[in-house]
A and B are shown apart, each in its own frame.
Chain A
Amino acid sequence: KQEVTQIPAALSVPEGENLVLNCSFTDSAIYNLQWFRQDPGKGLTSLLLIQSSQREQTSGRLNASLDKSSGRSTLYIAASQPGDSATYLCAVQYNFNKFYFGSGTKLNVKP
């Protein structure tokens, strides 16, 4: 059974800190892994997509890594800002079909 777990469930940090969000998955035979951002009452914004053959992807202050053998991915946010406050969702695809989502990490960056 494919399960995706995100730790921590919630995180509160002062502005400027670097932080790491964790995602683990039980089945390592993934097709790809994607990180999304969700603002309250809003839809999903895709942040980074990592194909199964890749180890990491970077976009601006965001860096996502993938370690298939250990079933883990991390999302690193550098120099956090209040505008980064949102829920971050990790999602795994095992074929070109459905995503399995974690429950998310709710991030609050305090000014």
Chain B
Amino acid sequence: NAGVMQNPRHLVRRRGQEARLRCSPMKGHSHVYWYRQLPEEGLKFMVYLQKENIIDESGMPKERFSAEFPKEGPSILRIQQVVRGDSAAYFCASSPAVPGGSTDTQYFGPGTRLTVL
């Protein structure tokens, strides 16, 4: 069973461009979470999605950031008009539909490292 997959692993953008980060959850998982890690800091929650629904976006910046998890295909985190402060590692995690067991938790992908020049 493949783990959570993220691509690209590294992304370089110039200021003002758009960044699109993709996350494919583990097989059988329908819940996706996005986190951001600034240099030398812990991870900060951004958004929680289920298929075709945003459940909690309390950690998303109000402007330029959006996320989706369509019925088919990966979850996408989109950052429009990137600025240097957006440079960070973006991690995706997934979990099963129903927390049915004592070991159910979120499983993290390897991250996408975004560098804004």
Contacts and interface: CB of A to CB of B under 8 A. Distances in A.
Interface of A: 4, 6, 32, 34, 36, 41-44, 46, 49, 51, 89, 91, 93, 96-104
Q: What secondary structure prevails in chain A residues at the interface with B?
A: strand
Contacts of A93: 105-106
Contacts of B107: 46
B43 A89 contact: yes
Interface of B: 33, 35, 40-45, 48, 55-56, 59, 91, 93, 95, 99, 102-111, 113
The residue among B55, B109, B111 with the most chain A CB atoms within 10 A of its own CB is B111
A49 B103 contact: yes
Contacts of B110: 42-43
Contacts of B113: 41
Contacts, number: 54
A4 B41 CA distance: 12
Given A32-B105, A42-B110, A93-B105, A98 B42 contact: no
Contact of A96 (B44, B95, B111): B95
A26 B39 CA distance: 24
Contacts of A89: 42-43
A103 B42 contact: yes
Contacts of B95: 96
A101 B108 contact: no
B56 A43 contact: no
A49 B33 contact: no
The residue among A49, A101, A102 with the most chain B CB atoms within 10 A of its own CB is A101
